[in-house]
Amino acid sequence: MNRAKTILSSLRVTNSYISNQLRNTTRAPYSQVTQFSRLSPYIPNKSYCSSHLINTHQKLFFSSTPNSVVELIVANEWSTELENELDNSNLGWTHERAIYVLKKLDKNPQKASGFFNWVCEKDGFRPSSSIYSLMLRILVQNDMKQFWITLKKMKEQGFYIDEETYLTMSAQLKKEKMASDVAALSHFYNRMLQENAMDGVVKEVVNVVVGQEWGEKVEKRLVELIVDLSDTFVIRVLKELRNYPSKAWSFFQWVGQSPGYEHNTVTYNGAARVLGGDDSIREFWSVVEKMKGAGHELDIDNYIKISRTFRKKKMVEDAVKLYEFMMDGPYKPSLQDCSMLLRSISASENPDLDLVFRVARKYESMGHTLSKAVYDGIHRSLTKAGSFDEAEKIVNVMRNAGYEPDNLTYSQLVFGLCKARRLEEACKVLVDMEEDGCTPDIKTWTILIQGYCAAGEVDNALICFAKMIEKNCNADADLLDVLINGFLGQQKIEGAYSLLVEMVKKARLRPWQATYKSLIEKLLVARKLEEAFDLLRLMKKQNYPPYPDPFVPYISKFGTVEDAAEFLKALSVKDYPSSSAYLHVFKSFFREGRYSEAKDLLFKCPHHIRKHHEVCKLFGSAESSPATS
C-alpha cells in the first residue's frame, strides 16, 4: 500500500454524528467512499444547524469567545448599551484578543475605531505600538480624519510606527495622490522614532550587538547604554536586528534576564516576528514555546505575517506546524488561511500528502465542515502527486458533501494526468466534463494543450486547439504563449511565427509582450530578419514599447545599411526614432569594425541626426582613429 493510501486509511471520523450521517446516506458510490478519509462527507441537516445558531446578545457574551465579540460588534451600532454588553462578557482584554477583534473588523473602520477607543480605556489593558499600527493600517484606507487623531494620540502616548507599517501607509497615500498627507506622515514617523523609540540609543545598541560576538563585553556595554528597558525599546532593537537573527535571539534572552524586566505578550510577539525565518527557525519555536509557557499567545496579525513568510520561503512544514499551533489556541486562522496553506503545499513538485491531511484534519477537528475550497486544495495535491484513485475518492466525498466538481476540479485532474504523461486520459476528462454538464473553459483547454506541448507533441496540441475553437472557446494570450513556446521547444520557428501572425490578424488577439520578445529572439537566431521586423511592427500597432535589444547587435554583425534604416523606421511611433537610437546603432557598427556601413547609414539619416553633437563627436573620433586612416 503506497504512502497516500496509508495516510487516507489512517484518517478517522471526528465524532459519532458524522459516523451516523455516513451510515444513513444512500447516495452512490458511498460504500466505497466510507473507506476513504472521512473528511466531512456530509451536510448537517437544518435542525442541527439551527440548534447551534446564536441568536441573542445574551448567548453571544456568555460564550466568551473572541468570535462572539466580533459578531456582537458587527450586529450593533456602537453605543453605551453595546459597551455595557461587552463589559458584561467578563472577557479579560489582552493584547492578543484586541488584535484578533481588530483584524476581524478591518473592513469596517468605524466599528474598528469604536472598539479600539473603548478597549484602550479599559483598566488593565496596555496598548502597544503594534496594536496602534494595526488600527492605523485600517484607518488609512477609509477614514483620514480618525487616522490623524489616532496617530497623534499614538505619539502622545509614547509609541512609534514600525518601518513596515510606515511604508505600507505611505504607499497607500501616494497611490491616492495625497502628497501633503505623505509629507505629514513622514514627519510624524521620524519624530516618533527620535522621541519615542529612542532612535539614537537604538542605533548604538544595534552597532554594539552586531559589531562583535556576544559575551560579557557586549552585555557590559549594553548596561551602560540602556537606561530604561521599555517594551517599545525592546521591540525597536529586535526589528533593527532582523537581518541578524542569532544576535536578535541573544539580545532577547539577555533582556529577559535583566533585573526588573519581564517579557510580555508584546515582546514575545515581536521576537517571534523577527525570528520567523529559515535561518532562525529553531529560535522561533523556542520563543513560541516560552511564550505559551508564560501564558501568552501569538497574535493573529503576527501569525498571518509569519505564515506568509514561511510559505514564501517554501518552509511549508513549519507553516503547517504553526497552523496547527494556532488552531489549538483561542485565535484560530480563517478558512482562507487553510486554503492558502493547502495551495502552498500543492505548489511543490511532489506535494507532501502527510502535510495536506494534517491541515485538513486539524481544520475538521475544530468542528468545521470542509468547504469547496478545502476539498479542491486536497484534490490539487493528490492529482499533482499522481494519486489519481485517491483523487477520485475525494471528489466523491466532495459530491456527498454537496459540492459538484467544476472547471477548477477538472482542471486539476487534467494537470495531474498531463504531468504523469497520461495525455489520452487527460483528453477524456474534457469529454467527461461535458457529459456531466460542465463546459471546459479556456483554462482547462490551456492546461491540456500545455501538457501536449511539454511532452513534445505539438501536432496533438494543435489538434486540441482546433477542437477548442470548434467549440466556440476563444483563445487568449496565455494559450497563445503556451503554443508558441511549444513550437519553439521543437525548433518550429516558422510555424510559431505563422501562428502568432494569424492569431493577431484574424482573431485580433493581443499576445503578451514576452511572447513577442521570445519569438523575435528565436527568429533572429534563425537569420529571419524580415519576419522579426514584422513582429516589431505588430508590437508597435498594439502599443507595446519598442524592443530594439536583439536587433542592434544582429544588424551590426549580419545586416545591411538598408536593414539598419528599416529597423530605425520600424522602431519609432513618430516620424523618426530618438537620437539615442541612432547612436546605439552607429556604435554597434563601430564595435563590429563596419565603419563604412556606419557612414553610409549616416548619409541616409535626417539632417538633425547628422548634425547632432554626439553623432558628430562619434564620427570625428572614428576619422581620427588609426583603424580608419
Q: Is residue 284 part of a domain?
A: no
- What domain count does the chain have? 2
Cβ–Cβ under 8 Å, residues 194 and 200: yes
Cα dihedral sign for 264, 266, 270, 276?
positive
Among 149, 166, 195, the domain boundary falls at: 195
- Going from the first residue of the chain to its last (629 residues), give the mean pLDDT of each consecutive group of 10, the final group possibly shorter: 33 28 30 34 28 30 65 89 83 87 91 91 86 93 91 90 92 93 93 84 93 92 88 91 94 92 93 93 96 94 95 95 95 92 94 96 91 95 95 95 94 96 95 92 96 94 93 93 95 94 92 96 94 93 90 91 89 75 89 90 87 86 48
Among 544, 596, 592, which residue's Cα sits nearest to residue 570?
544
Q: Is residue 610 part of a domain?
A: yes
Tell me phi and psi for residue 89, to 5 degrees.
-70, -15
Q: Is residue 230 part of a domain?
A: no
Q: CA of 620: how far to CAs of 19, 590, 608, 623, 625, in Å?
A: 91, 12, 17, 5, 9
Please report the pLDDT score of residue 227 as a whole number: 79
How many other C-beta atoms can be found within 10 angstroms of the C-beta atom of residue 91?
16
Cβ–Cβ under 8 Å, residues 320 and 355: yes
Please report the pLDDT score of residue 573 as a whole number: 63
Cα 64 to Cα 57: distance, rounded to the nearest angstrom: 11
Please report the pLDDT score of residue 7 as a whole number: 29
Cβ–Cβ under 8 Å, residues 531 and 501: no
For every residue of 434-459, DSSP letters joined together read HHTT----HHHHHHHHHHHHHTT-HH
CATH number of the domain bearing residue 146: 1.25.40.10
Amino acid at 101: V
Cα 459 to Cα 476: distance, rounded to the nearest angstrom: 19
Q: State the Rg of the chain over Cα.
A: 32
Among 166, 195, 224, the domain boundary falls at: 195
How many other C-beta atoms can be found within 10 angstroms of the C-beta atom of residue 225?
13
Question: Which residue is it, cell 458511498?
Answer: 30
Q: Is residue 352 part of a domain?
A: no
Q: Is residue 82 part of a domain?
A: yes
Amino acid at 144: M
Q: Is residue 444 part of a domain?
A: no
Cα 154 to Cα 146: distance, rounded to the nearest angstrom: 12
Among 177, 195, 213, the domain boundary falls at: 195
Q: Is residue 85 part of a domain?
A: yes
**Domain that residue 74 falls in:** 66-195
Please report the pLDDT score of residue 199 as a whole number: 83
For every residue of 380-429, DSSP letters joined together read HHHHHTT-HHHHHHHHHHHHHTT----HHHHHHHHHHHHHTT-HHHHHHH
Q: Is residue 483 part of a domain?
A: no
Go through 359-385 and write b for each residue having 16 or more CB atoms within 10 A of its CB, e for each that does not: bbbbbbeeebbbbbbbbbbbbbbbbbb
